[in-house]
Amino acid sequence: MRYILMNLSEKNKKSFDDSDSRIFRKNNVHTAITNPTLAKISVIILLTVISGFIVIEILRFLGILVDRGFSISIITITGATILYTVSKERNELIKSIDYSVLIFFSAMFVFTAGLWTSGLISEILSYIPNPLPTNSVANNNAIIATVSISISQLLSNVPFVALYNLVMIDNGFSGDDVYEWMMLAAASTVAGNLTILGAASNIIIIEAAESRGLKSFGYIQFLKIGSIVTLVNVIIYYLFILLFSYT
């Protein structure tokens, strides 16, 4: 009897091990590199594109490059074109593009542009205190931080910045108002940590994880952690920029 039970136990253990192995293989998102040459070329182009981002921003900061037509978008398209040209797997590259992400981003910007053109965003912002160049940096940055974090949860942070840029320019802010623009950049970035809807990248990553059979964050679960991260970060950014403005 004991021998029979031991055999059954061993069979069940092996069955569970095989089941776990199948689950692991199903959820394992890592795949082997099948084209080392293309992988190396992709890494080189990726590093070149990132270096191009850094160089172009340094040149603009130094005032050497003033042509706004030459942007990071041109560098990105150039890198993608080179990769497509040198690759022998062009059809596979085209098929592997996540077109749903491109459509999602395009539709999101079209939607937010419609909100701005219709005057709805201006109407909403009319009930919220506006930052003004005549106000103190402390007051302006408190408003910018609050508006950035709250409205980004409705529009997502990138479209929000695209719209709020126009608001700040209409209010009279220019390139000389460095601290307000720094606060907008910092607060809108942190806003993506508060909820899943705060940044489009959150939605894309979660959808990608779920499509591969992986467990992702729920809205409340994300909010519990995100609220702490967002609060701590925005306080640090606010105090740092405020301190920097007094030096």
Residues in the chain: 247
Q: Are 200 and 105 in contact (CB under 8 A)?
A: yes
- Confidence at residue 28, expressed as pLDDT on a 0 to 100 scale: 52
The burial of 116, by beta-carbon neighbours within 10 Å (0-12 exposed, 13-18 middle, 19 or more buried), is given as: middle
- Confidence at residue 35, expressed as pLDDT on a 0 to 100 scale: 81
Cα dihedral: 192, 80, 100, 230 (round 10): 0
What one-letter code names the amino acid at 61? F
pTM of the entire predicted model: 0.70
Q: How far apart are CA 141 and CA 176, in angstroms?
A: 15
pLDDT, one tens digit per residue, over 188-217 is 999 999 999 898 888 888 887 887 788 777
Q: How far apart are CA 219 and CA 19, in angstroms?
A: 30
- The CA-atom distances, in angstroms, between 141 and each of 155, 185, 187, 226 are 20, 11, 9, 21
Stretches where the chain sits below pLDDT 70 are 1-31, 66-69
- The packing angle between helices 157-170 and 178-191, to 10°, is 160
Q: How far apart are CA 122 and CA 141, in angstroms?
A: 19
H/E segment holding residue 24: helix 2-27
What one-letter code names the amino acid at 70? F
- Confidence at residue 25, expressed as pLDDT on a 0 to 100 scale: 46
Radius of gyration of the chain (CA): 25
The phi, psi pair for 187, rounded to 5°, reads -65, -40
